[in-house]
């Protein structure tokens, strides 16, 4: 082979070019072969790790299940000798290396998510006694964003409220995922004041974050302690105002209406749009005149939203305005007004039917569209 290459080298016109290309060929093929073997190496390694994990999990599973059953009859604040011995057993035998600690933590967290009450408390005691919570807290300071986020999840699952000051430091982290995890942690670990972080948040809350936060605020997950979101309507962070307006609408916090009406003058279009939507959801007659007053100066998107909100409010004033607006020459506005009339109540609905009798083709089409529930 070497002789062959030497011959080629001697006979090639440009020997430097030849040498260069041969080196490249060898390099590329070497990398390709390494990649080839790496795939199979990692597959074998993954299989080995999966088996090892499974074996370790089974070992812990039995012990943890025993603890869980023992705990049913225990006073959770004073674990019996038996449980204390078991905790001692864990501390001595299973925490020697990172792999074991990781599997144990996963197992405890898995069980904790399935159990509440006494069993949950004992599992938490075990987690703390094994200093697994300290591992998580340490990782909040030295790991990459992914490790930090995972640690937050563990701490939330185990309800380690002592971690709150440490997690709070990550509320304005540049990585959105980590910010969201820390915000959710605040909701779950401080249920008595779940949205305090809105006062300190400097980064925008994306729609995704807003959606996730509202999900965890859902009574099923959190909280009897839904705060009065009006508190944050004066925030300097526009996304905080938008989020709070959404929550006010969702939880029908009518006390916020005067502040919301003031926000109709906010310089941000997005804020105004959300406020208009929120006032519609609150269905309060007082907002009607303010919405009508704003109508002419707003952009197309906000105008459509004002019409929709007026339809939801459904007061006489709103219906009168919508009845007039149905003849608007801009077709989407006329259609939005007709749709709003249809949802405004009996008066609006009747008006549509009356108008239909004398309407020209264009208006008939709009009214028929609005009246067809399938096109709502």
Burial (0-12, 13-18, 19+ Cβ within 10 Å), 183: buried
Q: Does 31 bind other proteins (CB under 8 A)?
A: yes
The answer to whether 233 touches 245, Cβ cutoff 8 Å, is yes
The tokens of 137 are what?
């807290």
Both tokens of 275, joined, read 């406020």
Give the nearer residue to other proteins in terms of CB position, either 206 or 259: 206
Tokens 């801009």 belong to residue: 330
Compute how many other C-beta atoms are within 10 angstroms of the C-beta atom of residue 103.
Answer: 19
Least gap, CB of 24 to other proteins (angstroms): 4
CA dist 338 and 308 (Å) reads 9
Cβ neighbours for 94, distance < 8 A, ≥ 6 positions apart? 59, 60, 100, 101, 104
Options 71-79, 165-173, 203-211, 255-263: segment touching other proteins (CB under 8 A): 203-211
Stretch that binds other proteins, among 29-37, 96-104, 194-202, 344-352 (CB under 8 A): 29-37
Instruction: For residue 342, state whether it binds other proteins (rule: CB under 8 A).
Output: no
CB of 352 to other proteins, least distance (A): 13
Segments in the chain forming alpha helices (H): 2-11, 15-71, 81-93, 98-114, 117-129, 132-142, 145-157, 164-168, 176-189, 207-217, 238-250, 257-263, 269-282, 286-295, 300-313, 316-325, 331-344, 346-358, 361-371
State yes or no: residue 13 binds other proteins (CB under 8 A).
Answer: yes
Backbone φ/ψ region at 283: left (φ over 0), alpha (ψ -120 to 50), beta: left
Per CB under 8 A, 37 contacts other proteins: no
User: Is 250 one of the binding residues for other proteins (CB under 8 A)?
Assistant: yes
Closest to other proteins by CB, 225 or 330: 330
Is 210 an interacting residue with respect to other proteins (CB under 8 A)? yes
| Per CB under 8 A, 83 contacts other proteins | no
Query: Cβ of residue 51: shortest distance to other proteins, in angstroms?
Result: 17
Interaction residues for other proteins, span 132-151 (CB under 8 A): 146, 149
Neighbours of 73 (CB within 10 A): 8
Q: Closer to other proteins at the Cβ: 258 or 332? A: 332
Q: Does residue 369 belong to the site contacting other proteins (CB under 8 A)?
A: yes
| String marking each residue 90-129 x if it binds other proteins according to CB under 8 A | ----------------------------------------
Q: Map residues 301-340 to x or -, x wherever contact with other proteins holds by CB under 8 A.
A: ------------------------------xx--x-----
Nearer to other proteins, 272 or 290 (CB): 272
Q: Which long-range contacts (CB under 8 A, 24 or more apart) does 263-269 make?
A: 263/233, 264/290, 264/291, 264/294, 266/241, 268/238, 269/299, 269/301, 269/302
Applying CB under 8 A, among 32, 92, 142, 192 the residue interacting with other proteins is 32
Tokens of 19: 């040498």
Nearest distance from C-beta of residue 320 to other proteins, angstroms? 22
Contact at 8 Å (CB) between 306 and 336?
Answer: no
Q: Which residues contact 347 (CB under 8 A, 6 or more apart)?
A: 314, 316, 319
Determine, following the binding rule CB under 8 A, whether residue 49 of this chain makes contact with other proteins: no
Q: Which of 172, 175, 347, 32 is nearest to 183 (CA)?
A: 172
Q: In terms of C-beta density within 10 A (0-12 exposed, 13-18 middle, 19 or more buried), how is residue 169 classed?
A: exposed
Residue 375 engages other proteins in binding (rule: CB under 8 A): yes
Name which of 99 and 208 has its Cβ closer to other proteins. 208
Q: Does residue number 258 form part of the binding site for other proteins (CB under 8 A)?
A: no
CB 130, min distance to other proteins, A:
24
Residue selected from 91, 208, 293, 350 as contacting other proteins according to rule CB under 8 A: 208
Q: Which residues bind other proteins (CB under 8 A)?
A: 8, 11-14, 17-18, 21-22, 24-25, 28-29, 31-32, 35-36, 38-40, 42-43, 146, 149, 153, 176-177, 180-181, 204, 206-212, 214-216, 218, 246, 250, 331-332, 335, 364-366, 368-370, 372, 374-375
């Amino acid at each position: 082979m070497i002789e062959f290459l030497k011959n080629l080298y001697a006979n090639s016109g440009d020997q430097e070019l030849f040498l260069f290309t041969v080196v490249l060929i060898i390099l590329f093929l070497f990398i390709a072969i390494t990649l080839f073997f790496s795939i199979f190496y990692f597959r074998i390694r993954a299989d080995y790790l999966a088996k090892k994990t499974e074996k370790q999990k089974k070992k812990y599973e039995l012990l943890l299940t025993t603890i869980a059953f023992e705990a049913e009859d225990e006073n959770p604040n004073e674990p019996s000798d038996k449980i204390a011995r078991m905790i001692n057993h864990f501390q001595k035998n299973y925490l020697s290396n990172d792999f074991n600690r990781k599997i144990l933590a996963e197992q405890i967290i898995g069980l904790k998510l399935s159990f509440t009450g006494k069993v949950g408390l004992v599992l938490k005691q075990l987690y703390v006694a094994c200093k697994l919570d300290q591992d998580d807290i340490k990782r909040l300071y030295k790991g990459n964003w992914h490790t930090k986020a995972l640690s937050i999840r563990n701490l939330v699952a185990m309800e380690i409220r002592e971690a709150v000051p440490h997690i709070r430091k990550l509320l304005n982290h540049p990585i959105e995922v980590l910010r969201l995890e820390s915000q959710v942690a605040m909701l779950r670990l401080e249920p008595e004041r779940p949205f305090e972080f809105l006062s300190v948040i400097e980064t925008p809350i994306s729609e995704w974050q807003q959606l996730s936060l509202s999900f965890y605020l859902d009574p099923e997950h959190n909280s009897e302690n839904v705060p009065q979101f009006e508190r944050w309507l004066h925030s300097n962070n526009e996304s905080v105002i938008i989020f709070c307006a959404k929550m006010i609408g969702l939880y029908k916090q009518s006390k916020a209406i005067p502040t919301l009406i003031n926000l109709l003058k906010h310089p941000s279009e997005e804020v105004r749009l959300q406020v208009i939507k929120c006032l519609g959801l609150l269905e309060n007659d007082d907002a009607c005149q303010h919405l009508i007053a704003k109508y002419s100066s707003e952009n197309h998107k906000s105008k459509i939203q004002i019409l929709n909100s007026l339809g939801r409010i459904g007061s006489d004033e709103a219906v009168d305005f919508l009845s007039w607006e149905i003849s608007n020459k801009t077709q989407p506005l006329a259609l939005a007004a007709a749709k709003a009339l249809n949802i405004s109540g009996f008066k609006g609905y009747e008006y549509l039917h009356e108008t239909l009798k004398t309407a020209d083709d264009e208006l008939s089409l709009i009214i028929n569209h609005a009246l067809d529930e399938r096109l709502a």
